[in-house]
């Protein structure tokens, strides 16, 4: 019975929720929500996919993508291009403005990361990252996984 006073899993959930909340605030300054950033990241990493394909990767019903893409398209961040071979499908891509905004998101994420781990030394930061990666692998979480809330 040498268990820590407060469970690690509980701490993990608490600190993780805090990190997510702070990141939500940061991208809010760019007028973006976590679901929007999640979609933009996916389109940026693999352009030209259909909405159905994106919905599967996000683990969300396809109907949710419609208003999500609508909003980003109206702001000129994303483009719906028709697929010439199968005219039912769209091919989603980032616009020039979209790519520029994703650059800002990346800078916000890097700054966010430094803020959250500010109290750790460089070695501790590397150790934390290694331990979290170990758990993520063990629990079957993939790097870009957007399921379960957050960007």
Partner DNA sequence: TATTGTTATACTCTATAACTATA
Partner DNA sequence: TATAGTTATAGAGTATAACAATA
Query: What does 104 interact with, of DNA, a copy of itself, none (CB < 5 to 8 A by kind)?
Result: none
- Give the one entry of DNA, a copy of itself, none that residue 35 binds, where binding means its C-beta sits below a cut-off of 5 to 8 angstroms depending on kind: DNA
For residues 108-127, which are near DNA according to CB under 7 A? none
- Of residues 89 and 109, the one with the C-beta less far from DNA: 89
Count of beta carbons in the 10 Å neighbourhood of residue 36: 21
Identify the H or E element spanning 94: strand 90-94
Paired strand residues for 80: 92
Q: Answer with the entry of a copy of itself, DNA, none that 112 interacts with (C-beta below 5 to 8 A by kind).
A: a copy of itself
Beta bridge partners of 49: 92
3-class SS of residue 149: coil
Under rule CB under 7 A, residue 61 binds DNA: yes
Do 115 and 22 form a contact (C-beta atoms < 8 A)? yes
Give the shortest CB-99-to-a copy of itself separation in angstroms.
20
Residues 23-52 that bind DNA (CB under 7 A): 33, 35, 50-52
Question: Which tokens sit at 85?
Answer: 């071979």
């Amino acid at each position: 019975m040498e268990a820590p006073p407060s469970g690690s899993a509980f701490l993990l959930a608490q600190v993780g929720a805090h990190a997510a909340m702070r990141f939500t605030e940061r991208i809010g300054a760019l007028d973006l929500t976590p679901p929007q950033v999640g979609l933009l990241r996916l389109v940026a990493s693999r352009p030209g996919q259909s909405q159905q394909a994106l919905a599967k990767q996000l683990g969300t019903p396809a109907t949710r993508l419609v208003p999500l893409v609508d909003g980003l398209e109206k702001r000129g961040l994303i483009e719906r291009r028709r697929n010439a071979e199968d005219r039912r499908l769209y091919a989603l891509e980032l616009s020039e403005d979209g790519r520029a905004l994703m650059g800002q998101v990346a800078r916000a994420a890097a700054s966010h990361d430094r803020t959250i781990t500010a109290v750790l030394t460089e070695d501790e930061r590397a150790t934390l990252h290694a331990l979290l990666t170990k758990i993520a692998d063990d629990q079957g979480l993939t790097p870009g996984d957007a399921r379960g809330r957050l960007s």
